[in-house]
Chain A
Amino acid sequence: MTGKEPTSPAVTARDSVQIDAAGLTTQQLNDLLRRAVADGIKKIELRNVCGQRYIGTDLGQPVEIDIYGTPGNDLGSFMDGPRIRVHGNAQDGCGNTMNHGEIVVYGHAGDITGLSARDGKIFVRDYVGYRAAIHMKEYQERKPALVIGGTAQDFLGEYMAGGTVIVLGMELKPGEKHRARFIGTGMHGGAIYLRGEVEKYQLGKEVGVKELDDNDRAALGSLVGEFARHFSYEAEALLQGKFIKLVPLYLRPYGRLYAYG
Chain B
Amino acid sequence: MKTYLPNRFIVERDPARCIQCEVCVNQCSFDVNYRDADEDEVRSREENCVGCHRCVLFCPTRALNIRRTPLDYRENANWRPEIIEDIIRQAESGGILLTGMGTDKAHPIYWDRLVLNASQVTNPSIDPLREPMELRTYLGRKPDSLTVEPGSLALKTKLAPQVAIEVPILFSALSYGAVSINVHKSLARAATEMGTLFNTGEGGLHRKLYKYGANTICQVASGRFGVHPDYLNVGRILEIKIGQGAKPGIGGHLPGEKVSAEVAATRMIPKGTDALSPAPQHDIYSIEDLAQLISALKEATNYTKPVSVKIAAVHNAAAIASGIARAGADIIALDGIRGATGAAPKIIRDNVGIPIELAIAAVDTRLRQEGIRNQVSLIAAGGIRNSGDVIKAIALGADAVYIGTAALVALGCTVCQQCHTGKCAWGICTSDLRLTKRINPDIGAQRLVNLLRGWSLEIKEMLGGMGVNALESLRGNRLHLRGVGLTDTELEILGVKMAGA
**Cα-based distance from A162 to B265 in the complex (angstroms):** 15
CB atoms of A142 and B268 under 8 A apart? yes
CB atoms of A188 and B276 under 8 A apart? yes
CB atoms of B300 and A78 under 8 A apart? yes
Indicate whether B270 reaches chain A with its CB closer than 8 angstroms.
yes
How many A-B pairs fall under 8 Å by CB?
Answer: 135
Chain B residue with Cβ nearest A54: B299
Write out the residue numbers on chain A whose beta carbons fall within 8 Å of the beta carbon of B229: 58, 60, 78, 80, 99
Indicate whether A74 reaches chain B with its CB closer than 8 angstroms.
yes
Indicate whether B302 reaches chain A with its CB closer than 8 angstroms.
yes
For window 3-41 of A, CB contacts with B under 8 Å fall at 26-27, 30, 34
Indicate whether A71 reaches chain B with its CB closer than 8 angstroms.
no
CB atoms of A255 and B274 under 8 A apart? yes
Contact of B227 among A27, A97, A161, A261 (CB under 8 A): A97
Write out the residue numbers on chain A whose beta carbons fall within 8 Å of the beta carbon of B265: 139
Contact of B299 among A57, A80, A116, A159 (CB under 8 A): A57
Q: Given A93-B292, A97-B224, A254-B276: A77 and B300 within 8 A (CB)?
A: yes
Indicate whether A251 reaches chain B with its CB closer than 8 angstroms.
yes
CB atoms of B96 and A257 under 8 A apart? yes
Indicate whether B301 reaches chain A with its CB closer than 8 angstroms.
yes
Write out the residue numbers on chain A whose beta carbons fall within 8 Å of the beta carbon of B421: 260
CB atoms of B300 and A57 under 8 A apart? yes
Write out the residue numbers on chain A whose beta carbons fall within 8 Å of the beta carbon of B282: 112, 115, 131, 134-135, 158
Interface size on A, residues (CB 8 A): 48
Write out the residue numbers on chain B whose beta carbons fall within 8 Å of the beta carbon of A257: 95-96, 253
Indicate whether B81 reaches chain A with its CB closer than 8 angstroms.
no
Q: Given A135-B278, A251-B274, A255-B274: A58 and B301 within 8 A (CB)?
A: yes
**Cα-based distance from A66 to B94 in the complex (angstroms):** 55
CB atoms of B296 and A34 under 8 A apart? no
Chain A residue with Cβ nearest B86: A261
CB atoms of B278 and A159 under 8 A apart? yes
**Cα-based distance from A82 to B302 in the complex (angstroms):** 17
**Cα-based distance from A251 to B265 in the complex (angstroms):** 18
Contact of B268 among A118, A135, A159, A186 (CB under 8 A): A118
B→A interface (CB under 8 Å): 86, 89-90, 92-99, 222-224, 227-229, 232, 253, 255-256, 264-265, 268-270, 273-274, 276, 278, 282-283, 292, 295-297, 299-303, 345, 420-421
A→B interface (CB under 8 Å): 26-27, 30, 34, 53-54, 57-58, 60, 73-74, 77-78, 80, 92-93, 96-97, 99, 112, 115-116, 118, 131, 134-135, 137-139, 142, 158-159, 161-162, 186, 188-189, 251-261
Can you report 20 A-B residue pairs in the complex whose CB atoms are below 8 A from each other?
A57-B300, A74-B296, A77-B299, A93-B283, A116-B223, A135-B224, A139-B265, A139-B269, A159-B276, A162-B270, A188-B273, A251-B274, A252-B256, A252-B273, A255-B255, A258-B98, A259-B89, A260-B420, A261-B86, A261-B99
